[in-house]
């Protein structure tokens, strides 16, 4: 799926991403990069709202897994189970989030999902702004396959 088509998919299925003006910049080969502008995501201090930063981290992990499962031909519903952010500094410009599939865990995750119809995996995302690391996000996601999808 092209970055433009994936952006439209996210806007249609997760309406908050449209309000945030989130866009997919790159996706494929176990990698994804998303971005959002400051203006619709700012707080009263004219910096990025922490909830928007956290949401971008969650959506990055979710979209990465959605893409990975689609490439494997696996139908599953993905839900976030746990989300943690470490906010390193204020964000006063557009922000970007990048993540890669955890290669060491991916095969086990797929095997468990195929065998049990449910699997859990943790995905780490790095958020940047103005070429600086601003947030570290860690999300644990559960994939539900079969009748649960």
23-69: pLDDT as tens digits: 999 999 899 999 999 999 999 999 999 999 999 999 999 999 999 99
83-129: pLDDT as tens digits: 999 999 999 999 999 999 999 899 999 999 999 999 999 999 999 99
Which one is predicted more confidently, 3 or 148? 3
Taken in order 6, 23, 30, 75, is the CA torsion positive or negative?
negative
- Two tokens at 19? 């309000």
Identify the domain containing residue 49 by its residue range: 3-148
pLDDT band at 1 (very low <50, low <70, confident <90, very high): confident
Q: What global pTM score does this model have? A: 0.94
Beta carbons of 67 and 1 less than 8 angstroms apart: yes
118-148: pLDDT as tens digits: 999 999 999 999 999 999 999 999 999 865 5
How many structural domains compose the chain?
1
Cα–Cα distance, 109 to 102 (Å, whole number): 10
- Two tokens at 26? 């790159």
Cα–Cα distance, 76 to 149 (Å, whole number): 5
- Average pLDDT score over the chain: 95
CATH code of residue 44: 3.10.129.10
Cα–Cα distance, 149 to 146 (Å, whole number): 6
């Amino acid at each position: 799926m092209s970055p433009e088509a994936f952006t439209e998919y996210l806007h249609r299925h997760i309406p908050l991403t449209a309000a945030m003006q989130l866009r997919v910049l790159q996706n494929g080969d176990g990698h994804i990069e998303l971005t959002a502008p400051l203006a619709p995501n700012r707080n009263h201090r004219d910096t990025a709202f922490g909830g928007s930063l956290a949401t971008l981290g969650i959506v990055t992990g979710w979209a990465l897994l959605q893409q990975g499962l689609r490439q494997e031909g696996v139908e599953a519903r993905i839900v976030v189970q746990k989300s943690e952010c470490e906010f390193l500094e204020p964000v006063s410009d557009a922000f970007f989030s990048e993540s890669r599939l955890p290669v060491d865990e991916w095969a086990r995750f797929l095997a468990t999902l195929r065998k049990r119809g449910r699997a859990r995996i943790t995905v780490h995302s790095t958020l940047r702004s103005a070429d600086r690391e601003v947030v570290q996000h860690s999300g644990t996601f559960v994939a539900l396959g079969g009748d649960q999808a």
